[in-house]
Amino acid sequence: MLNCHGVANPYKSNGYEDVAAEFIAGRGRNSSGVGASVVADWSQTLPSGATVLDLGCGTGVPISQALIERGFKVYGVDASPTIVAAFRARFPSVPVECAAVEDSDFFARTFDGVVAWGLFFLLDPEVQLGLIKKVAGVLQSGGRLLFTAPNESGSWPDVMTGRCQFSLGYEEYRKALEAEGMLLVGTHRDEGENHYYLAQKM
């Protein structure tokens, strides 16, 4: 695969390794960035001190940070080495793996919660479906999933990377979750017009 500079890029970060410096300097510096309060509210549905897997964790600011500050045990996975280095510098005691979510074994353990802010729609549709199956496999019974993706189906360019993004849309996400034993328990839209899917493993 060639990156935007025409150079072979071995990372499966969907273009984020190429824009890592810009990403870290922007979203990576805003502790109260979009999504933090929604994730903080969602975390109240988890047992105290629960384990949470943050997929496409970025620098950890603000999503992992909101969970760490509330006493949750966070594990991160992200495919961009530069962005993972920023995560490690900010949260040195938090386990984080530099890997594509489609390749990771998710620390070979189970979780009470899984969060994926700004990740699903970066992935090809079949990879998204495979990820829903993988998440179902590591969520404990009663465990909760929060991910962002539009309500509508369609594709559009990522403002940072210019790459194509894909939303399966509400009905396809609902069906895919149910097929893997997860119930869509709610949706939410935030001040930045991000749309959230809230699911629970049966």
Ligand X SMILES: C[S@@+](CC[C@H](N)C(=O)[O-])C[C@H]1O[C@@H](n2cnc3c(N)ncnc32)[C@H](O)[C@@H]1O
Which two three-digit tokens encode residue 7? 């150079």
CB-nearer residue toward ligand X: 2 or 48 = 2
Number of residues counted as binding ligand X (CB under 6 A): 23
Q: How far is the CB of 202 from ligand X (least distance, A)?
A: 26
Binding status of residue 58 toward ligand X by CB under 6 A: yes
Closest CA to 175 of 131, 126, 114, 132: 132
- Kindly indicate which of the ranges 111-119, 135-143, 162-170, 182-190 contains the residues binding ligand X, using the contact rule CB under 6 A: 111-119
CB-nearer residue toward ligand X: 142 or 154 = 154
CA distances from 65 to 17, 162, 185 (A): 21, 27, 24
Site pattern 24..43 for ligand X (x: CB under 6 A): ---x-------x--------
Close Cβ partners of 109 (under 8 Å, ≥ 6 residues apart): 51, 138
Residue nearest to ligand X (CB): 58
CB-nearer residue toward ligand X: 50 or 100 = 100
Q: How far apart are CA 179 and CA 117, in angstroms?
A: 22
Closest CA to 63 of 17, 118, 104: 118
Among 38, 63, 66, 129, binds ligand X (CB under 6 A): 63
| Burial class of residue 140, CB neighbours in 10 A (0-12, 13-18, 19+) | middle
Binding status of residue 83 toward ligand X by CB under 6 A: yes
Helices (H), the chain: 20-25, 36-43, 63-68, 81-90, 125-138, 170-179
Among 50, 57, 94, 129, binds ligand X (CB under 6 A): 57
Among 68, 79, 135, 139, binds ligand X (CB under 6 A): 79
Binding status of residue 182 toward ligand X by CB under 6 A: no
- By CB under 6 A, name the binding residues for ligand X: 12-14, 16, 27, 35, 56-58, 63, 77-80, 83, 100-102, 117-119, 122-123
